[in-house]
Amino acid sequence: MKKFAVRNLRLCTKECLCLYVCPTGAADTENSIIDVEKCTGCGRCVEACVSKAITLIPEEFPTPQKHDEDVLSMMNTVLSAKAQAECIASALPGKFARALARSNRIMAEDISREAGYMLPQGKNARKFLKELAESGNEKAEKLLKVLRTNE
C-alpha cells in the first residue's frame, strides 16, 4: 500500500531534521507542507522528527465499516447535538467551558469517523462534499474531482 508523509503544523517544533534525511527534498517547502508529489513514503522523516509531527498516511483509505441506516441516523443526531454543544461551550468563559468544548469536539470527531465522514474516499464523505459543492463551495468541487470512491 502506497503511503506519503504529512506534517501536523501544530505539533511541529521546527527542529527541521526531516529536511536533512528526506532523500527527495519533499519536506523542504516554503509553506512547511510536505510535497506529496515528491514524497516516496520511505518514512525517514517520521523517524527523524523529534516532535512526532510527521506521520505516514495511506494514499487510499480502507472501505468504511458498514452500518445499519438506523445506526447512521442516530449517529448523525448525536453528531449534531455534539456540534451544537461545542458551539455553546465555546461561547462561555473559563477553563471548564474550554474543556467542555474540546470534549464535545473530540466526541463529534469520533462519531464522524465511525460514520465514515472522515474517510475521504467513503460514500458519506462524498455525499457531504456534493452537498457543499451544490451550495457553491469551490474547494468541495475540486475535492470531488480528485477523490475516488472506494465503496
User: For residues 149 and 121, what is the distance between their CA atoms, to the nearest angstrom?
Assistant: 5
Sign of CA dihedral 19, 21, 24, 26: negative
Classified by CATH at the fold level, domain 3-58 comes out as Alpha-Beta Plaits (3.30.70)
User: For residues 38 and 27, what is the distance between their CA atoms, to the nearest angstrom?
Assistant: 9
- pLDDT at position 115: 79
- pLDDT at position 61: 72
- SS3 of residue 15 by DSSP: coil
Total residue length of the chain: 151
- pLDDT at position 54: 92
- pLDDT at position 40: 92
- pLDDT at position 150: 64
- pLDDT at position 36: 85
Spell out the per-residue pLDDT of the chain, length 151, in tens.
789 899 888 888 888 888 889 999 888 777 778 888 899 999 999 999 999 999 998 887 777 677 788 888 888 889 889 989 999 999 999 999 999 999 999 998 888 888 777 777 777 778 888 888 898 888 888 888 877 776 6
Domain ranges for the chain: 3-58, 69-146
